[in-house]
Amino acid sequence: MSGGSHALTHVRTMPTLPRLILAAVALAAGIGPWWAAHEHGAKSFPGFIVQSHTDGAPPLFRTETINAGSPHAKSHSATLAELPDGTLAAAWYAGSGEGTSDVAIYLAKRSAGGAWEQSEAIFTRQRVMSDLRRNVVSLGNPLLLADDTARLGLLFVSIAAGRWSGSSINLAWSEDNGSTWGPARKITMNPLANLSSLPRNPPAPLVGGGWAVPVYEEFLGKFPETLWLQPRGSDWSAAVSRIEGGVYILQSSLVPLSERRVASFFRDFRPARWMSASWSEDAGRTWTKPVTTELYNRDSGQCVIRLSDGTLLCAFNDVSPGKRENLRLAFSKDEGRTWQTVATIAEEPGSEFSYPYMIRGRDGAIRMVYSARQTQIIFAEFNEAWLQQQTEVAP
């Protein structure tokens, strides 16, 4: 390559007509793909599907260890999805340690009313290296995508070098509800070597198909974004929009309040120790400036879902001598501005309960997975009647 200081314009050597035609082609080459994407592509901020069913059943609460007897020193960052027949699928990463080469993505299923089956490694580092034809140091942060078909999606992180800042997000599909998986492919999320992107918290289903997935960047900045995944023929389109820039919040929990209105709650690692929140009135296109809520958050993952009457339910780590010695539930009746702690899911001094992940089943019940001491993946199942019972006894 070379340089110079001459003027941009040169003596025109090409005749006018060919130059005019080429200039027109260039203009068409710019606008053409933009136009075509609107004609045949995914939709711009199509709106959210809001779940509002309830089970009407008597109070229910129970917990179960999904990976009992696991040989792994580390099992963490669990995700949960309900398949069309009511079967539950849970996935998490496990291995000898965070970021180690033996970490794999594990999947376990539980048929409706049945017990959790033995988990299986669905993506190992070797498998992902083969699929991507790239270097992979370790895996992490799986996130399941389920709809009304037998198709099950999986987002997960592969680390190319170093630790989490060297991660990027991959997408794989199963056409048989998670029994077998197609090849993983990398999703391009940012222009800076496509590194430091991670998914976290449940995806919000979109009108017309697809999901809005909470993701975050932690390269130089640390900030939350939304990954928009929408069907495009036999393939999928992926794009990312920013919720807030900066260096202080991440791991958003996306909660559709109506088709166009959506709230987002963030893990916040500023000294103030309060969960922060932001709201959008245009289906996630623009967001209010994040504000701190009155719910405690000491730089730990939380999860918020909407109940049938519009009340928001948050699973979070409350104040404790250690960092994550309890896992509690809180209600908000005003779309997340104020909160009331109503129940404790787990609490033990010196222990750790983290990364809660909640979904609402088609039967209205609430299902949660979380990690205990980052070794056990715990499944908790409860319903709105039980939550109401807890509210009545809460101080």
Site for other proteins in 211-230 (CB under 8 A): 217, 219-223, 225, 228
Cβ distance to other proteins smaller for residue 79 or 280: 280
Query: Does 198 sit near other proteins (CB under 8 A)?
Result: no
Chain residues 238-257 in contact with other proteins, contact rule CB under 8 A: 238-247
Minimum Å gap between C-beta 89 and other proteins is 27
Q: DSSP letter at 96?
A: S
Answer yes or no whether residue 191 interacts with other proteins by CB under 8 A: yes
Task: Select from 296, 395, 385, 380 the least CA-distant residue to 90.
Answer: 380
DSSP annotation of 92 reads E
Choices 185-193, 334-342, 364-372, 384-392 (CB under 8 A): range interacting with other proteins: 185-193
CB of 380 to other proteins, least distance (A): 34
> Are the beta carbons of 121 and 106 closer than 8 angstroms?
yes
| Distance of closest approach, residue 294 Cβ to other proteins, in angstroms | 23
DSSP summary character for residue 391: H
Token pair of 28, please? Answer: 């068409």
Chain position carrying tokens 């998670």: 178
Point out which span in 143-151, 252-260, 279-287, 302-310 binds other proteins (CB under 8 A). 279-287
User: Which whole-number Å values give the CA distances from 54 to 18, 110, 298, 367, in the listed order?
Assistant: 67, 21, 32, 13
Distances (CA, A) of 182 to 127, 172, 204, 257: 11, 6, 23, 34
Tokens of 52: 């509002």
Q: Does 270 bind other proteins (CB under 8 A)?
A: no
194 belongs to the binding site for other proteins (CB under 8 A):
yes
Count the neighbouring beta carbons within 10 Å of the beta carbon of residue 87: 17
- Match 């960092």 to its residue by tokens: 323
362 near other proteins, rule: CB under 8 A:
no
Binding segment for other proteins among 24-32, 54-62, 257-265, 327-335 (CB under 8 A)?
Answer: 24-32
Residue nearer to other proteins on the CB measure, 82 or 225: 225
Q: How far is the CB of 223 from other proteins (least distance, A)?
A: 5
Residue with tokens 């376990």: 108
Q: Which of residues 43-102 bind other proteins (CB under 8 A)?
A: 43-45
Q: Which is nearer to other proteins, 114 or 246 (CB)?
A: 246
Q: Which residue has the tokens 């992926």?
A: 238
Please choose, out of 99-107, 129-137, 206-214, 351-359, the segment that lies near other proteins by the rule CB under 8 A: 129-137
